[in-house]
Amino acid sequence: MVAANEKDLIFLDRNENQYGPSPECFKVLQNSNDDTLNIYSRDFSRGIKSLLSARLAYDYGTEEKKILLGYGSEDILKQVVQCYINKGEKIMIPSFSWWYYKKIAEDVEGISIEYPIVEGEHTFYYDIEGTIKIYNEQKPKLVIISSPNNPTGNRLETNQLNFVLEKMKDSIVVLDEAYLFFDVTFKTDPVGLVNRYPNLIILRTFSKYYALAGIRTGFAFLGDNLDRISLLGTRYLGFNRLSEKIAIAALNSPEYYNSISLKMAEDMNMLYNELNQWPGFTAYKSFANFIMVKIPPEIKDSLKEYLTERNMIIKFMNEEELNRHLRITIGTHPQNCFLLKLIKTFMCKEMNHELVQGI
Ligand SMILES: Cc1ncc(COP(=O)(O)O)c(C=O)c1O
């Protein structure tokens, strides 16, 4: 087989936003004749970190010092762990979660303790009672909560989140909301939460909903007890000036992002309904820009080969308890239709093959 040109591959395996950023973001690049690139971008004169942190503080109605910027939310997350966790200290992380959580705990020789996410009939969910029990026994220094969670797509509803945060208020809690905005109807109050819980950090990013993974810009809301991490952020000489302008252009384009998210939500339903029709398939309800799907184990390798040969890349999970599962990023409408068509053709062949073998 001739290796495909990278440009021809459709990557529905990385949870990137395939629609791309708003036209306003491209205008920033097209009109850029910035003569301040020789100057550090930190806004020394006004005593703020940057234009972007000031803008976010304004939008969310909080003080600029409560907003932390980073090179992606991964950067902030890593800094939090490095800042607060010493060798042998405990971090609680979800049992099925983004691999990075465990790695950053290992980097500082922290001990990661898993708390349960359970596979239900049509959705994964946090076992809240079980989690609080583990929390009370282990008394971790830091807890990472991911909502919606990668790769399972489930989230904590507002009352559940409040309950958990109240129980965990003695620890530093990092709430990773990288995928939060995809459900455009879901309302949250990050400033209210960090005001109520001084050990809480809420992470958000421009990478997913705003389709700007390439500008590496994330931000966080900080509780009042978290001066150490706040100071680390303040010491930066600024962030990437161009990235900040592009991020602000994205914030100025709510209609665009709303409309692509609604398209993705419709397509998520289409995938959910169609995939659930195949024997042995379970597509799980998700609040992110991806869905998890369980498939019959005997087709895993052949399906992977079939899709890859046709330039369609999705994520086949390998974790011990998730090894019958795929994670599919919701792409553009034509990409999603193409994927469904490929799976349909593959399954029809498989089923005929089985019928023929059974004769
Ligand atoms: C749960 C979760 N949080 C954070 C990130 C990283 O986001 P960023 O691009 O802001 O570093 C990812 C990346 O896939 C993720 O899955």
Which of 195, 230, 251 terminates a domain? The answer is 251
- 16, 43: one domain: no
State the Cα–Cα distance between residues 232 and 150, nearest whole angstrom: 27
- 183, 325: one domain: no
- 235, 92: one domain: yes
Give pLDDT tens digits for 194-238. Answer: 999 999 999 999 999 999 999 999 999 999 999 999 988 778 888
- Tell me the DSSP string of 322-351: GTTEEEEE---HHHHHHHHHHHHHHHHHHH
State the Cα–Cα distance between residues 50 and 199, nearest whole angstrom: 24
- 204, 236: one domain: yes
What is the chain's length?
359
Among 103, 175, 203, 207, the mutation site with the greatest number of ligand 1 atoms within 8 A of its Cβ is 207
Residues framing ligand 1 (Cβ under 6 A)? 15, 72-74, 98, 146, 150, 176, 178, 205, 207, 213, 218
- 64, 130: one domain: yes
- 330, 205: one domain: no
- 202, 59: one domain: yes
DSSP secondary structure letter of residue 43: B
Q: Classify residue 1: in a domain, yes or no.
A: no
User: Is residue 37 within 8 Å of 241, Cβ to Cβ?
Assistant: yes
Packed helices 73-84 and 227-234: angle between N→C axes, nearest 10 degrees = 130
In one-letter notation, the amino acid at residue 65 is K
In one-letter notation, the amino acid at residue 359 is I
State the Cα–Cα distance between residues 330 and 346, nearest whole angstrom: 20
Which of 251, 284, 302 terminates a domain? The answer is 251
Domain range spanning residue 136? 23-251
Tally the domains of the chain: 2
Give pLDDT tens digits for 146-193. Answer: 999 999 999 999 999 999 999 999 999 999 999 999 998 998 999 999
Residues in a beta bridge with 89? none
Among 12, 69, 98, 180, the mutation site with the greatest number of ligand 1 atoms within 8 A of its Cβ is 98
Q: How far is the CA of 111 from the centre of ligand 1 (A)?
A: 21
Position 359 confidence tier, pLDDT thresholds 50, 70, 90:
very low
Which of 210, 227, 251 terminates a domain? The answer is 251
Give pLDDT tens digits for 341-353. Answer: 999 999 998 877 6
How many helices (H) and strands (E) the chain has is answered by: 12, 14
pLDDT of the residue at 272: 96
- 167, 301: one domain: no
> In this structure, what CATH number is given to the domain that contains residue 303?
3.90.1150.10
